[in-house]
Structure 1
Amino acid sequence: MTTLPTPTAAAPSPFALALRRFRKSRLGVLGGWMLVVLYLSALLGGFLAPYGITTQHQGFEYQPPQPLHWVHQGQFMRPFVYGSKTGRDPVTFAKTSVPDRTTPVPVEFFVRGEPYSFFGIPTTLHLFGVDAGPENNRFYFPFGTDQLGRDLFSRTLVGGQVSLTVGVVGILISFAIGIVMGGLSGYYGGRTDNLIQRLVEVLLSFPRLPILLALSTLIPARWPSTYVYLGIVAVLALIGWASLARVVRGQVLSARNVEYVSAAQAVGASDLRVILRHIVPNLSSFLVITATLSLPGYILGESTLSFLGLGIKEPMTSWGLLLKDAGNLQTVNLYPWLLLPGIFLFVAVLAFNFFGDALRDAADTQSR
């Protein structure tokens, strides 16, 4: 009687092993979920925001954040906020606001409000809002308002669309340039390598912030907001590809003599096809990790330019432009809620670092 061989379980793939190592990193998983929440909030910004980013509420300038309540005069109620009474501080003469606890203002969900476009579809549906009342003087400002009475919560969500996408678009452009230039440099060597590497050294010899500021001044001040956005992306990509090109060159130098590259050359594949089809795909894990760790620099670059008045312009908004309103100590001391967009910026950079570090450790076969 013969015994059948016991089937053995298939060995896990390299991707499965990397995913298992990634899941062991609590900070990496946390960073990933933080990024999901940030990008979803930016994607659904028009729906989540109760007001338009340019809507000014007269008489509600520098309105402090309004917390939600559920109990009024000892009775449990649906979520509501209190209105505000405005006045002047007798010492500083600054505008002050105190809650008007006489009349609760219910917060309603899935309400009709200001029109916006959702993926090209016009709509007026918002997640939450309040009835403005017969005198149109009741509002809900979760993050307060700025000096023009604009809702800071709405502006922060929509500003995330700019700040978060600037990094992604900038990375795509700079990586496309860096991969091609680094691939050509490492593949051909000789004069081509010397020329490209000297250009890379020139770009890397300039301090990042001064060259970023210098190039941003080339963007015409009269350009519309969309053109300024594209100009900022181009500036960030122009100074961001050099460091990647140097690393890709080293990777290509070590990969150009392997067997599968020689086989592709033997069957007559073009040089560009060999680089993009046979060499670059083997660098995919390295490129994904590098992109994730580089994104915070692009986001901070845009925020820096906008904070200094050289980046995104009104009526478009971004986290850096919102922080510009909190540019002096006196304003921050009187209206500290103007710093709330900075928390989103801090969380985004921290999440990318957590996520990128975990990806790098997961892709490292020597990590335990």
Structure 2
Amino acid sequence: MKEATLFLMGSDKLGRDVFSKVVHGARISLSIGLIGVFLSLVFGTILGGISGYYGGRTDTLIQRLIEVLMSFPSIPLWMALATSLPPQWSPLVVYFMITLILSLIGWTGIGRVVRGIVMRLKEEKYTEGALLSGASNFYIIRKHLIPGATSFVIAQATLSIPAMIIAETSLSFLGIGLRPPVVSWGVLLQEAQSITVIANNPWILYPALFVIAVVLFFNFLGDGLRDACRPIYE
């Protein structure tokens, strides 16, 4: 007698367990958010720190670059960049390239936050003392300004993780991001593009519930960290 099989969230059209695929896809969707925000944090901290410390033409150039990047509609820009990837590339290469693309676009918010904090901290007496003692600009930025902005930047980065996850999910859902055999929440939701499929197999939408839960978690975490760091800078 054949043993019964339990599917906690149903099965897809090929009879595969949806719950197992959602758990497996979490590795890709969450790692894209975390790695993408880390790279954005690096880009934003470096460029924002330089912009806020040096000011003048350097600040103007970096701020105009930020304004140009922020002026493009997000989803059409992601679509254009993602579709430029050669279709013959392996899923692993596409994964890293999409993460890099999202990072190159998503550093602008962190860059402006770092710029504002650095402009405030460079007027502090300990920064002026370090400058008068002969410390180099690179040393002052690395030892005094960037560490002073770390707590607030981490809070801002936490709020950026949901945007990265939603971006990957949107691109993969539209079929221009990650593609099978890679499993991510966006790839799983590709099957939910048909009303007929949703009507007959509503459990196909379960990955969307996980996306909503994770986005809310990081938003609440980021709000808490931001409120905890706010008294330091006010």
The residue that corresponds to 1:359 in the other structure is 225
Residues 110 and 157, structure 2, Cα contact 8 Å, conserved in 1: no
Q: Hey, what's the Cα distance between the residues in 2 that align with 1:273 and 1:229?
A: 36
Q: Hey, what's the Cα distance between the residues in 2 that align with 1:270 and 1:161?
A: 42
SS of the residue corresponding to residue 142 of structure 1 reads coil
Q: Hey, what's the Cα distance between the residues in 1 that align with 2:57 and 2:231?
A: 36
- Residue 335 of structure 1 aligns with an amino acid whose one-letter code is N
Q: Hey, what's the Cα distance between the residues in 2 that align with 1:357 and 1:290?
A: 9
Q: Hey, what's the Cα distance between the residues in 2 that align with 1:295 and 1:207?
A: 19
Q: Hey, what's the Cα distance between the residues in 2 that align with 1:357 and 1:207?
A: 25
Residues 158 and 222, structure 2, Cα contact 8 Å, conserved in 1: yes
The residue that corresponds to 1:127 in the other structure is none
For residues 62-86 of structure 1, give each alpha carbon's deviation from its aligned partner in whole angstroms, at most 9, with x where no partner exists: xxxxxxxxxxxxxxxxxxxxxxxxx
Equivalent residue for 2:86, pick from 220, 225, 244: 220
SS of the residue corresponding to residue 364 of structure 1 reads helix
Please state if 1:311 is matched with 2:177. Answer: yes
Residue correspondences, number: 232
Uncovered stretches (5+) of structure 2, i.e. residues with no partner: none
For residues 134-185 of structure 1, give each alpha carbon's deviation from its aligned partner in whole angstroms, at most 9, with x where no partner exists: xxx7533222221222221111001000111111100110111111111111
Structure number with greater CO (CA < 8 Å, separation at least 6) is 2
For residues 241-283 of structure 1, give each alpha carbon's deviation from its aligned partner in whole angstroms, at most 9, with x where no partner exists: 1122122212111111212212322343332221122101111
The root-mean-square deviation of aligned C-alpha atoms, in Å, is 1.7
- Residue 102 of structure 2 aligns with an amino acid whose one-letter code is L
Task: Give the number of the structure whose residues are more often helix, by fraction.
Answer: 2
Please state if 1:340 is matched with 2:234. Answer: no
The residue that corresponds to 1:275 in the other structure is 141
The residue that corresponds to 1:290 in the other structure is 156
- Residue 365 of structure 1 aligns with an amino acid whose one-letter code is P
Equivalent residue for 1:252, pick from 100, 118, 130: 118
Of all paired residues, the percent bearing the same amino acid is 45
The residue that corresponds to 2:131 in the other structure is 265
Q: Hey, what's the Cα distance between the residues in 1 that align with 2:166 and 2:78?
A: 12
The residue that corresponds to 1:139 in the other structure is 5
Residues 172 and 178, structure 2, Cα contact 8 Å, conserved in 1: yes
Deviates more, 1:187-196 or 1:243-252: 243-252
1:139-288 alignment runs, 5 A limit:
139-288=5-154
Q: Which has the larger radius of gyration?
A: 1
- Residue 302 of structure 1 aligns with an amino acid whose one-letter code is E
Uncovered stretches (5+) of structure 1, i.e. residues with no partner: 1-102, 104-132
- Residue 327 of structure 1 aligns with an amino acid whose one-letter code is Q
Task: Give the number of the structure whose residues are more often strand, by fraction.
Answer: 1
